[in-house]
Amino acid sequence: MVITAKSDTAREIAHLSATVGAQHPVFFQIGEVYKALVGLRAGTRPGAVPVSVKVGYEGGGEKTATVQLRVASRLFPTQHLRISPSKAGLMEAGLLERERILLYSHLTSTRAQPLWKGKFLVPASGRNTSSFGRRRYVNGKWWGQHSGADIACSAGTRVVADNDGVVVLAEKLKMRGNTIVIDHGFNLFTLYNHLSGIQVREGESVKKGQVVGRVGATGFVTGPHLHWEIRVGVIPVNPWSWTKSEVPL
């Protein structure tokens, strides 16, 4: 969702903050209004989530507005995967935590302007084999909910940027394999994992439809595919919805 805040007085806004449950969305100014993108994890409990926005004015004074966001229930399918012993080391908790910290370090700084234009592209041609939010067990143990979409296709299939942005990560990780992260501005990021090759550099501006890499089977995988994510900050959201309609900023 998008939170929009605008002063209802002639006073200038000095500071602005919000909470959505335990989250603290980041606001950016567009003209005379401030906006923040918000995503909720697939595992969010159904029910009421409080949304509170606090505005502080130049010269003193504050105003707070609070509403209740109603989260509906959804039943996600369950998937059981078997991983070979040669890949078992990639499930080690310390390794996963180090990789998460590295990944999150690239999802906490963003361009202040939305860089994307219109709907997002599906970044590779193939078959959707594991949908967003799917509950996963690996070798009989709880693994978590799927944070993106798996697109099955042949190794070497080209992977394109789903929209305009700036590459903020382009390197090989242990669990995610060859990985690209693109900052689309406004705290919105896309991730491309398990690539056989990376064809962009960190700091490079990319355009929607530009080839950025090739499908592979690097990292924690059972076969060649693209794992594709869209995240609001560090929160993964359903990538398919961004291909069907534009974000209403």
Tally of residues, the chain: 249
DSSP 59: T
User: How many beta carbons lie within 10 A of that of residue 240, not counting itself?
Assistant: 16
CA angle, 22 as apex, 19 and 11 as ends, to 5°? 10
Q: Which two tokens stand for residue 220?
A: 């924690």
How far apart CA 101 and CA 234 sit, in angstroms, is: 11
Sign of CA dihedral 140, 142, 145, 149: negative
What pTM, to 2 d.p., does this model score? Answer: 0.92
Which of the two residues, 234 and 32, has the higher pLDDT score? 234
CA angle, 8 as apex, 2 and 10 as ends, to 5°? 130
Question: What is the pLDDT confidence band of residue 7, given thresholds at 50, 70 and 90?
Answer: confident
Question: Could you read off the pLDDT of 211-242 as tens digits, one per residue?
Answer: 999 999 999 888 899 999 999 999 999 999 99
In the predicted model, what is the mean pLDDT of residues 172-178? 94
Dihedral angle, C-alpha 84, 97, 137, 195, nearest 10 °:
-60
How far apart CA 90 and CA 20 sit, in angstroms, is: 33
Question: What is the pLDDT confidence band of residue 64, given thresholds at 50, 70 and 90?
Answer: very high
How far apart CA 1 and CA 241 sit, in angstroms, is: 12
Question: Could you read off the pLDDT of 71-104 as tens digits, one per residue?
Answer: 999 889 898 888 777 776 777 888 889 999 999 9
Q: Name the least confident of 93-102, 158-167, 184-193.
A: 93-102
The predicted pLDDT at position 11 comes to 83
Question: Could you read off the pLDDT of 119-130 as tens digits, one per residue?
Answer: 999 999 999 887
Phi, psi (rounded to 5 degrees) for 240: -65, -30
The predicted pLDDT at position 134 comes to 86
Place of tokens 């950025």: 212
Residue-range domains of the chain with CATH = 2-71 (2.60.40), 78-242 (2.70.70.10)
DSSP 197: E
In the predicted structure, residue 205 carries a pLDDT above the cut 90: yes
Q: Which two tokens stand for residue 236?
A: 């993964």
The predicted pLDDT at position 181 comes to 98
In the predicted model, what is the mean pLDDT of residues 40-64? 92
For residue 40, with 0-12 CB atoms within 10 Å meaning exposed, 13-18 middle and 19 or more buried, which class applies?
middle
Which of the two residues, 22 and 204, has the higher pLDDT score? 204
Mean pLDDT, all residues of the chain:
92
Highest-confidence range of 71-75, 137-141, 207-211, by mean pLDDT? 207-211
Residue 154 in contact with residue 224, Cβ under 8 Å? yes
In the predicted model, what is the mean pLDDT of residues 47-71? 92
Of 166, 130, 159, 136, the residue nearest 240 (C-alpha): 130
| Cβ partners under 8 Å of residue 221, min gap 6 | 87, 177, 194
The predicted pLDDT at position 88 comes to 66
